[in-house]
Structure 1
Amino acid sequence: MKKKAIDSPYFAHSDAPYSHGILMNGMVFTTQIGETQDGSLISEDVYEQTKQTIENAERIIKEAGGTLEDVCKVTIYMLDMKNDFDKMNRAYRELMPNHPFPARACVQVGGMIDGVKVEMEFTAFVSQ
C-alpha cells in the first residue's frame, strides 16, 4: 500500500512541508504539538499543551479509523524535563489508555518552535 496523508478538518491549512499524519500498511504516524484549530498554542502551560497534543493526535488517528487504544509507541520531546515532567505525565496519564500504556520514550531537547514546551510522536496500528 502506498502511504496516504491523513488530514483532519480541525487543523488549519499549512504550506509547511509535512503531513499531519501518514497511514501506511495499517500504521499511523503523527507528530503533534499543543496548537488549537486556528494554529495558535493553547497555553504556555505544559499540562495544557500536553492535553491538546494528545487530543490532536487522537483526531488524526480517528481520521485513519483508529483510537488512542491503537497507539503502540509514543516519543515525547520536552524543553525542561526537570520542571515540566510531572505536569506532562499527569496529562498523559489522564488521556492515554492504560491497559497497557504504549511503549514510550521521553527526551529533553535544546529547542523547539517558540512557546512549545512539548512535542509528541505517535505510532498506532489500525486494522484496515
Structure 2
Amino acid sequence: MKREVIVPATGLLPHRPYSPAILVDRLLFVSGHTGSDPVTREFSSDAREQTRLAFENIEAVLKAAGASMADVVKATVFMTDMAADFSAMNEVFKSVFPDSPPARSTVGVAHLARPGLKVEIEVVAMVGSGG
C-alpha cells in the first residue's frame, strides 16, 4: 500500500504536528479542519460561518488529491455547543451535500484546539470515484 501526504495548493501546513490529509490507495483521510482562515488563522464567532469555512478548507485538500465533496463517504463533526449551533451547522452541511450526503457522526466536545472555535470537521473520501 502506498501512503502519500496531501497538502493543499496553498502549500500551508498545519501549525501542529500532523498532515492535512493522507492518501492510502484510493482512500483519503482528511484531518479535522476548523473554520479558521488558513493564512491569518482568524475566525468568525458564528457557527454557520465557521462550518462554511471548514468545508472550504476541506475542499482545498480534496482538490489537491484530485477529489471533490461528491467523493466524501464519511464525515465527523465535532461541536462545542450542539444545543446552540447544531441547526446552523446542519444547514451548511445540507448545502454542501444536497444529494446523497455521506455517512456522518456529530460529536459534542468540551473544547477544540483554540478558544472560540465551535466546529471541527474531518472527512474520508474515495479518490477517483468519479463522484
Normalised TM-score (structure 2): 0.89
Displaced runs of 4 or more, over 3 A: 11-15
Task: Give ranges in structure 1 of 5+ residues lacking alignment.
Answer: none
Identity of aligned residues (%): 35
How many residues align? The count is: 127
Which residue is equivalent to 1:62? 63
Q: Could you say which residue in structure 1 is the equivalent of 2:16?
A: 16
For structure 2, the 5+ residue unaligned runs are: none
State the alpha-carbon separation in 2 of the partners of residues 13 and 103 from structure 1. Answer: 27
Q: How does 1:67-106 map to 2 (within 5 A)?
A: 67-96=68-97, 98-106=98-106
Contact conserved, 2:74 with 2:125, CA < 8 A, in 1? yes
- Provide closer, same or farther for how the CA distance between residues 38 and 15 of structure 1 changes in structure 2, counting only shifts above 3 A: closer
For residue 110 of structure 1, give the secondary structure of its aligned residue in structure 2: coil
Identify the residue that residue 2 of structure 1 maps to in structure 2. 2
Query: What is the RMSD of the two structures over their aligned residues, measured on CA atoms?
Result: 1.6
1:71-109 residue CA offsets vs partner (Å, 9 max, x unmatched)? 00000000000000011111111122x321100010100
Change beyond 3 A, Cα 1:51–1:15:
closer
Residue number in structure 2 paired with 1:109 = 109
Tell me the SS of whatever aligns to 2:111. coil
Give me the TM-score of the superposition, normalised by structure 1.
0.91
